[in-house]
Structure 1
């Protein structure tokens, strides 16, 4: 009986597939980005460092994406995106085959796009384009990346994005925690609204996640975090990071963010504000990031970028000016150079790149500079 039923289902699927061949059109595209260069860090635990580093400003990736025309303005779509380290050939995103993105869904000219899988939330989609300092230098991303502006995936998620209504778009997303007996644990949701008209663009997002792992000292250089000791200082000035390998899990991470840009001739003025509240038990604190800057294109193949970030969190604060330049040999190949300076308030060890690229300085300041090339395919 089971074999007969299986053969019947298979025959029906083949018949449907054959019937669709006449009108369905599909395509698959191989694409990717390779970023490689040399980075200088002025102070990592008291020592400076020159190092080869790849996937910095633009994470190294290759991917497959495609679509099938289903007729009536409806398409089936998918995107599988792998992240890798060029210097070693190793997988990134904790060794996941398609850790950067992996989703399948439907796209409609009338109603928008609905996708299912491992996807970025709307902070990345809507606010990251206004992260002018981060575009100049990845090391100048927002402190700790607590607001996820550098891009963090939401696994097991369902995401809807509207079509454009005269420049207005909106979206909603839900990430399933997949925890038996506790629907709430490890779950998340995100929503956005954005508008573009001529040279003006703006967007606003709210994202909330539950049970999020954070590395407080490595990411923002503090020893006290939400009422807990997360690192201790030895008599010689060295630091014991109590959460270097095992994350400190906050109960809730909530971010409200807004950004805008306006292009005036060869100059684009950009700014954003994010406010992230972290809660652990009865303790909570809010990180506010204020960022503004500009991009100037004096020639079609040259882009100059400058910006400033000011961040506050639980009595601490950070100043971070950044300069960057990009030179395009072609549409696919370019070089970039940047320098960013971070100064933290007293008692905080400066660390750039949200703890992903370097160790904290043993002082309040840290300088990071990089020169690299990018190739797109």
Structure 2
């Protein structure tokens, strides 16, 4: 990351009034580019080889800055945009990943308001995953539920208090209804509108051990928990433990959507009879557990391995995910990565290895005439398995 003098000058001229004593301030331009190749097998159309952006970390660029007010207090801001490094297209509009302003002080913490975007509190679950933000990891078996977005956010984070840190988020609906949202108010998991969302996170560091607990809830535009993988309650607990060059990981996540509805899953009540496999109902609960390790083989090279398991109720079966990955530092800012994964499904499960956005929960499209032909999806058939491989390069600036 580097300071950009032109941006510093521009921000100063725009925001500092004449005659006011200028406080010390800084503006930083930063970004990440992640581009790689991906292979997926086990699809109705056999297999797929593609170039992808963000298989390890989302490609992005942004501007952030601080202005010191004195007494340790500073005003902060951050604007961040996600994009595809394969074609240059924005992920979801300018500064959709973050657009916040806040105030921070080491004595009492940090308060932010604005578009929290891709930093919705559930995204912190990746710190308890040995694959971190890799495409095959803690978000795979919950069909992208941990890749959540939020708007109209108020966030407060405490300073570290004896190893404990608490963070809370509350996302306004911008609606006259407390729970229901304005249909255009802001994206959730699939960049679609959502109702009220909120969450709280506790982290605790004790020597080589790090503990994490997150509770968050995301409602649909009607204020309901109608899809366990999109609009639901999530309770997640996990942690890490360092043993020399090896870090052990483990965690558990419980998802609940008591008002599961055909509209929440398929967009139409008429889809339910034909979309669901025989004996299945709409899931209202899903549970996920995982365990893994990260081994820093050398200062430049690391290996990661993990196993994940999930089970959904109402006859939706279970799935297992095995992963093995690695990273290699070329410099302080640039590194290579790779990962191979295998997912296996029980006879009433069809979870795939894609990112969860292009294959969210819904019926196997072979059995759902309302969702189009099989070649529009990347997840396997019911009871099927899938192998995936990714390799890419990441650079920070």
> Which band: TM-score by shorter chain?
0.7 to 0.9
2:255 maps to 1:260: no
Greater Rg by CA: 1
For 2:380, the equivalent position in structure 1 comes to 361
Deviation at 1:173, TM superposition (A): 1.2
After superposition, where does 1:1-377 map in structure 2 within 5 Å?
A: 18-21=19-22, 24-93=23-92, 96-119=93-116, 120-125=119-124, 127-135=125-133, 137-143=134-140, 145=142, 148-149=145-146, 151-179=147-175, 181-185=176-180, 186-211=195-220, 252-280=231-259, 285-314=284-313, 315=315, 316-356=317-357, 359-362=378-381, 364-377=384-397
Distance 1:257 1:30, change over 3 A: same
CA contact (8 A) 2:228 2:285 kept: no
Distance 1:187 1:146, change over 3 A: farther
1:153 partner SS = coil
Q: Which runs of 5+ in 2 are unaligned?
A: 1-13, 181-194, 262-281, 359-376
**What's the Cα RMSD here?**
2.4
Deviation at 1:89, TM superposition (A): 1.0
For 2:8, the equivalent position in structure 1 comes to none
**Higher normalized strand content (fraction of residues):** 1
What CA distance in whole angstroms lies between the structure 1 residues aligned with 2:210 and 2:380?
Answer: 37
2:20 partner SS = helix
CA contact (8 A) 2:30 2:63 kept: yes
The Cα offsets for residues 159-214 of structure 1, whole Å up to 9 and x where unpaired, read as 000011122111211101112x312110111011111133211111111121179x
Q: How many residues align?
A: 324
CA contact (8 A) 2:81 2:94 kept: yes
CA contact (8 A) 1:199 1:262 kept: yes
Distance 1:44 1:212, change over 3 A: farther
CA contact (8 A) 1:210 1:250 kept: no
Runs of 4+ in 1 over 4 A off after TM superposition: 13-17, 144-147, 248-252, 281-284
Distance 1:302 1:341, change over 3 A: same
Distance 1:56 1:207, change over 3 A: same
CA contact (8 A) 1:308 1:322 kept: yes
Deviation at 1:50, TM superposition (A): 1.0
CA contact (8 A) 1:38 1:52 kept: yes
Deviation at 1:349, TM superposition (A): 2.3
